[in-house]
Amino acid sequence: MSRSKSQPSPETPETPRRAADRIRDTAFDLFYKEGIRAIGVEEIVSRAGVTKPSLYRAYESKDELIAAYLRDYDQRFRQRFEAPGAEHPDDPKAHLLAYLDYLSKRASSDGYRGCGLTNAVIEYPDPAHPAHQVGVESKQALRERLGEMCRAMGAYDPAELADGLLLLIEGSYVSGQAFGQGGPARVLGDTARRLIEASLSRPTET
Amino acid sequence: MSRSKSQPSPETPETPRRAADRIRDTAFDLFYKEGIRAIGVEEIVSRAGVTKPSLYRAYESKDELIAAYLRDYDQRFRQRFEAPGAEHPDDPKAHLLAYLDYLSKRASSDGYRGCGLTNAVIEYPDPAHPAHQVGVESKQALRERLGEMCRAMGAYDPAELADGLLLLIEGSYVSGQAFGQGGPARVLGDTARRLIEASLSRPTET
DNA sequence: CAGGGTACGTACCGATCGGTAACATTGTCA
DNA sequence: TGACAATGTTACCGATCGGTACGTACCCTG
């Protein structure tokens, strides 16, 4: 009975999965929580319960594993970002604010580690490094997506509002790590609302 | 003639200074530009033109050198932040906006590396690590200082406005690194003005 | 000319880094 | 059942990590 079920079934992701998958998942967790440079390949494979050659058959180098981790992170981020859109079809403002409220809560709670992509860009300032490149590409895509949404919500200067919101988002990512619970990210939602309201009409002359 | 001047004079900081000073300055540059974890002590001493024992005579460990670098950075930051106040005595809003305009320009130009303290918190997520601690302490001080200024400029909810501005500032630090010239930080000044204006009076009900 | 304190360099330590060659084991399908 | 391909394992590589024991040149004071 214990083994009546076919073990090699590829659609039953049991706890002890394929080595490559375990490596990917373990690397994701460790890279994100501890930082990329802080984690060696030895620690990844030992925590994943496999050995180094298994890692190097699945990935050409640590740098490629890093890039794969960041592409994974980017994909998951886009899901988190777009998910609230399902409940607010054709309402980009409500969609965006729903994500910001969610992020606000997450980023002002204890143990938050920010955005893996932002962290990677900081850990690898060299623009030639794959980690830097994947991070930057994701941020550029986010900037464009925000511009799109701000245009759709009728902002007076969509690109400017998008950049302002991007500053608030990135600020939440990093200050969430520095302050933990009760950090500045708690005001993200209200601040974004205020900024959006003030950016829909023509700017008032000071 | 060549040595008529007393060599051991401590008040003539010539180019080849004391080893400890060269180490401090070199470590500052390298840690800031390349990242702390990316730079080994070997590279610091070789670029400084000294040897390792000189480093370990001045600093107990690499961690202590890191902490010293961050304390240095914090000191220089406070100077940059407070400097515009001299031209705007008793006008915290003008003072703050002057700094933000300056930061906006710096953070949206090429090769910007952000805030060394923010970067350190991200590179060392462990709250027990000295680098993390020094970084967080500096950020907490900044948060309080911003709250002070917002109170002085008559904000309706000073703490909330201060946190919103802190998000914009931190966002400028990190996005400056990801986007380089023309990045989102270009809107920092205008966005902060808009946010401040919208935060002086009672928040409008939406 | 001692003598001692200061300041710096030579040479080395064990540990860990990313990465690999060679071998053992397993599952799949004819 | 036998053969192949995929996957896992043991043991090791040179390079670099942070850190140190020890020797030496220098200068001021007596």
Say what the alpha-carbon torsion angle A56, A60, A62, A65 is, to the nearest 10 degrees: -100
pLDDT value for A17: 64
Q: What's the pLDDT band for B201 if we cut at 50, 70, 90? A: confident
* Nucleic strand C interface residues, CB < 7 Å: A 7-8, 39-43, 52-53, 56, 61-63; B 18-20, 49-54, 57
Put simply, the answer to whether A174 touches B173 (Cβ < 8 Å) is yes
pLDDT value for B11: 36
Q: What is the DSSP letter of B189?
A: H
pLDDT value for A3: 31
Query: Average pLDDT of B156-163?
Result: 98
State chain B's mean pLDDT as an integer: 91
Per residue in B60-106, pLDDT (tens digit) is 999 999 999 999 999 999 999 999 999 999 999 999 999 999 999 99
Residue A4 has pLDDT above 70, yes or no: no
pLDDT value for B2: 33
> Distance, in angstroms, between B73 CA and closest chain A CA?
16
Two tokens at B99?
A: 């700094």
Which nucleotide in the DNA or RNA is closest to residue A59, CA to C1'?
Answer: C19
Residue B172 has pLDDT above 70, yes or no: yes
Looking up tokens 């023309």 gives B182
Q: What's the pLDDT band for B203 if we cut at 50, 70, 90? A: low
Distance B59 CA to D20 C1' (A): 14
Mutate to test the interface with B, among A66, A110, A122, A161 (most CBs of B within 10 A): A122
Q: Count of alpha carbons within 13 Å of B21, Cβ hemisphere only?
A: 8
> Distance, in angstroms, between B69 CA and closest chain A CA?
17
Percent residues over pLDDT 70 in chain B: 89
Residue A113 has pLDDT above 50, yes or no: yes
Partner residue facing A160 (CB), from B118, B139, B190: B190
pLDDT value for B13: 41
Partner residue facing B167 (CB), from A121, A136, A168: A168
Give the whole-angstrom CA distance, residue B156 versus residue B200: 5
Quote helix, strand, coil % in chain A, to nearest 5: 70, 0, 30
Contact B70, B120 (CB under 8 A): yes
Residue B198 has pLDDT above 60, yes or no: yes
Nearest residue, CA→C1' of D20: B53
pLDDT value for B4: 32
Distance B135 CA to D26 C1' (A): 40
Looking up tokens 């400084």 gives B48
Residue A72 has pLDDT above 50, yes or no: yes
Nearest to B167 by CA among A164, A136, A160: A164
Percent residues over pLDDT 90 in chain A: 84
pLDDT value for A12: 33
Distance B31 CA to C14 C1' (A): 26
Partner residue facing B198 (CB), from A122, A171, A198: A198
Contacts of A125 in chain B (CB under 8 A): 33-35, 113, 177
Give the whole-angstrom CA distance, residue A94 versus residue A149: 10
Contacts of B66 in chain A (CB under 8 A): none
Which chain A residue shows the shortest CA-CA distance from B144?
A: A184
Q: What's the pLDDT band for B20 if we cut at 50, 70, 90? A: confident
Partner residue facing B177 (CB), from A114, A125, A199: A125
Query: Average pLDDT of B118-128?
Result: 97
Residue B51 identity (one-letter amino acid): T
Residue B15 has pLDDT above 90, yes or no: no
Q: What's the pLDDT band for A116 if we cut at 50, 70, 90? A: very high
pTM for the structure as a whole: 0.91
Looking up tokens 């992020």 gives A103
Residues 32-61 of B with CB under 7 A from strand D: 39-43, 51-53, 56, 61
Q: What's the pLDDT band for A205 if we cut at 50, 70, 90? A: low
pLDDT value for B190: 97
Q: What's the pLDDT band for A188 if we cut at 50, 70, 90? A: very high
State chain A's mean pLDDT as an integer: 90
Nearest residue, CA→C1' of D26: B8
pLDDT value for A204: 60
* Residues near B110 by beta carbon (within 8 Å), at least 6 away in sequence: B180, B181
> Distance, in angstroms, between B98 CA and closest chain A CA?
15
Q: What's the pLDDT band for A18 if we cut at 50, 70, 90? A: confident
